[in-house]
Amino acid sequence: MPAPIKPQQVHLYMQTKQSGSSQETAAAKAGISTRTAHRIDSGTHRPQRGRPHDWKTREDPLDGLWELELEPMLEREPRLEATTLFETLQENHPGQYDDKIRTVQRRTAKWKAAHGKPKEVMFKIQHHPGEMGQSDFAQLKGFSVTVQGEAFHHILYHYRLSYSGWQYVQVIQGGESFIGLSQGLQNALTACGGVPKIHRTDSLSAAYRNTGGRNPQLTQLYSTLCDHYRMQPTRNNLGVSHENGGIEGSHGYFKRRLCQALYRRGSFDFDSVAEYQQFIEQVIAKLNAKCQKKFALELPTLQPLPRYRTPDYEVRSAKVSCNSTIAVRCVLYTVPSRLIGHRLKLHLYHDRLVGFLGTTPVVELARVHVHGSEKKRRARSIDYKHVAESLRRKPNAFLYCQWQSELLPNLQWHQLWESLKANFEQDQAARLITEALYIAATQDQESQVADYLQTQLEQSTLTLSRLKQAFEFKLSTEQYPDVTSQQHDLSDYDQLLHSRPGQPIPVADDNPKTVAVEAFPRRVAEHRASSDSGELVLRPVSVGFSSRRSQPSGAESDFTRSNRSAAALRKVLDQF
């Protein structure tokens, strides 16, 4: 009996025949006869002749319990899993089938493939250039980033063009707020250089009022943002994240690339948030370089950017208290004391807070966010530079101030304060620390002042006068350069005084020289011009005062005024 033809031989024959070989050559290479090759070409070849292999080659390890007990359970409830069926088998037959879990899993998977419910199909979506951009927020899990050694709580805003895959990522402090969405989206559109027709997100509370129903309403701020950039806002169904798969799938890939870049860097700590943002942009630049060709095709199809950005901040108002503080979103901030009593208009960004008096910005503060894991939802942001002047005048207020711990800039200053309390009396220690804070604030020498205090404490030579003398601010003479001026000739003005009407004024010399002016030999009172009417005659007159409050008659009033004028003039002339 000839050996059966294997499917691999048929596949090799077809490949060789399609490459241009003859039927005989292809049959010889596949190891079959030309007769079999002819049947394959005519479509009459039957690869399985005889009875199909439908019999078992070994005994049933479950002893027929699959058909009797487990399969009926699946027919009643197809959502049962293999683990549940195996546990049922163990309960009904203890100790007999403890090693048959793989058999139950294989038969369950086979039954569900043949009789189970249809599964959800993921369809491949065709994207068109310039049609859609997607946004979402992502959190880093599995590793943490620190800034200057302290844990940095943040999320990442992620934007991606659906067609080309061009991406943008920005660090956002705080939660998934509209401020973070607005600033991240506008920065992404600016970096991209164009605007897609559709902007898709998930059910962000910053963009949608998720109050239930099929048609959730847009928030007013998000609707204004989309209208400004001429984008149609869309969202996926609630809880169905794969509908926004163009951005959800790239989250994991980007976070893995970022984690690998941090491993390669050798440190997860950064000196500032700006340095961390720059590091992320370097990672994104490498990812965007892979899709540069498709992005070059998509860029001309994007809508142009508007001439200006829409506000990406929240407007608030707060009055500066007598404590030189304002309260914003359960956080107490200090501001410069010159603003006490004024009402500030505040622009709240995700990372900073800007205060205005009218349209003039007067203060900018780093915004503080209270992390959700903390028990208290309140915080303080105290800057000693804002109140250093008042602390210097009221040193004892530092002893009992509720913000004493926050007024000290860092751990070194806290240690210095403990040393001052141990080496000096309480009042004297307060005067020293407040004077040191004042010098550090006004001269911007925080670390230098702290080092000086540390050295003087070690040498036991610290006094208030020494501290003031060490940092006495001396003006440099180079700040006031010598200015020399040349006096022009004053005789030119004499030509103006003695010129007659209609007579032309001579042209002044281009190179005037200073001429010494002689002292006037005569008294001013004796000099009379030729146009004067004559010599002034002074006569003594009697002065009368009326006891009545009513105004005097016209003659008496004129007489009194003339007498007062003569007396005043006499006093002036007697001075010469």
Question: In one letter, which amino acid is 305?
Answer: L
Running DSSP on this structure, what letter comes out for residue 244? Answer: G
Residue 473: pLDDT band by 50, 70, 90 thresholds?
low
Residue 479's pLDDT is 52
Q: Domain with 203 in it: what CATH number?
A: 3.30.420.10
Do 105 and 190 share a structural domain?
no
Pair (213, 280) in one structural domain: yes
pLDDT over 50 at 476, yes or no: no
d(CA 349, CA 367): 8
- How many C-beta atoms surround the C-beta of residue 483 within 10 A? 5
- Tell whether 153 and 261 lie within a shared domain: yes
The pLDDT score that the predictor gives to residue 39 is 87
What sections of 116-177 are H helices per DSSP?
Answer: none
pLDDT for residue 63? 87
User: Does residue 161 lie within any of the structural domains?
Assistant: yes
Lowest mean pLDDT among 109-123, 238-252, 289-303, 433-447: 238-252
In a domain, 566, yes or no: no
In the chain, the N- to C-terminal Cα span, in Å, equals 154
In a domain, 404, yes or no: yes
Asked if residue 519 has pLDDT above 60, the reply is no
* CA-CA-CA-CA dihedral for 338, 343, 347, 348, to nearest 10: 90
Regarding whether 223 and 140 lie in a shared domain, the answer is yes
Per-residue pLDDT band at 428 (split at 50, 70, 90): very high
Select from 473, 508, 541 the last residue of a domain: 473
pLDDT tens, 162-210? 999 999 999 998 888 889 999 999 999 999 999 999 998 887 777 887 6
- Does 487 map to a domain? no
**Across residues 70-82, what is the average pLDDT?**
92
Structural domain of residue 370, as residue ranges?
A: 314-381
* Cβ atoms of 379 and 368 closer than 8 Å: yes
Residue 524: the pLDDT is: 44
Residue 236 scores a pLDDT above 70: yes
Is residue 182 one of the residues assigned to a domain? yes
pLDDT of residue 505: 53
74 domain residue, yes or no? yes
240 and 181 in one domain? yes
* Whether residue 317 has pLDDT greater than 90: yes
Asked which of 256, 273, 301 is the last residue of a domain, the reply is 301
Are 266 and 409 part of one and the same domain? Answer: no
DSSP-derived secondary structure for 195-218: B-SEEEE---TTTEE-SSSSSPEE
SS3 552: coil
Same domain, 226 and 334: no
Q: How many domains does the chain have?
A: 5
Confidence bin at 139 (pLDDT 50/70/90): confident
Q: Give, for 392, the enclosing helix (H) or strand (E).
A: helix 384-393
Confidence band, pLDDT 50/70/90 cuts, at residue 213: low
> 42-80 b/e with 16+ CB inside 10 Å = b?
eeeeeeeeeeeeeeeeeeeebeebbeeebbeebeeeeee
Assess whether pLDDT exceeds 70 at residue 374: no
Identify the domain boundary among 441, 473, 505. 473
Q: Residue 468: pLDDT above 60?
A: yes
Distance CA 471, CA 456 (A): 14
> Mean pLDDT over residues 414-439, rounded?
92
For 63, 64, 115, the CA distances from 54, given in Å and listed in that order, are 18, 17, 19
Same domain, 37 and 12: yes
Residue 575: pLDDT band (50, 70, 90) is low
306 is a domain residue: no
Angle (nearest 5°) at CA 441 between 436 and 447: 65
pLDDT (0 to 100) of residue 361: 94
Q: For residue 32, is it within any domain? A: yes
Sole residue written with tokens 């508007």: 306
Task: Give the torsion sign (CA, 201, 203, 204, 206).
Answer: positive
Q: What is the mean pLDDT of residues 377-398?
A: 90
Q: Are residues 281 and 366 in the same domain?
A: no
Per-residue pLDDT, 20: 87
For the chain, give me the number of helices (H) and strands (E)? Answer: 21, 17
Buried b (16+ CB within 10 A) or exposed e, 109-148: eebbeeeeeeeeeeeeeeeebbbbbbbbbbeeeeeebeee
pLDDT-derived band at 526 (thresholds 50, 70, 90) equals very low
Q: What is the overall mean pLDDT for the chain?
A: 82
Q: Copy the structure tokens of residue 375.
A: 């028990």
Position 323, amino acid: N
User: What is the distance between the alpha carbons of residues 161 and 165, in angstroms, rounded to a whole number?
Assistant: 5
CB burial of 486-525 (b: ≥16 within 10 Å; e: otherwise) equals: eeeeeeeeeeeeeeeeeeeeeeeeeeeeeeeeeeeeeeee
Cα–Cα distance, 425 to 168 (Å, whole number): 58
Same domain, 374 and 393: no
Q: Name the phi and psi angles at 379, rounded to 5.
A: -150, 170
Has residue 557 got a pLDDT over 50?
no
Give me the DSSP letters along 98-109: TT-HHHHHHHHH
DSSP for 485-534? --PPPTHHHHHHHHPPTTPPPPPPPSS----PPPPP-S-GGG---TT---
Question: 282 and 139: one domain?
Answer: yes
Which of the residue ranges 30-34, 121-125, 499-503, 547-551 has the most confident prediction, judged by mean pLDDT? 30-34
Comparing CA positions, the residue from 107, 117, 114, 110 lying closest to residue 66 is 107
Do 171 and 288 lie in a common domain?
A: yes
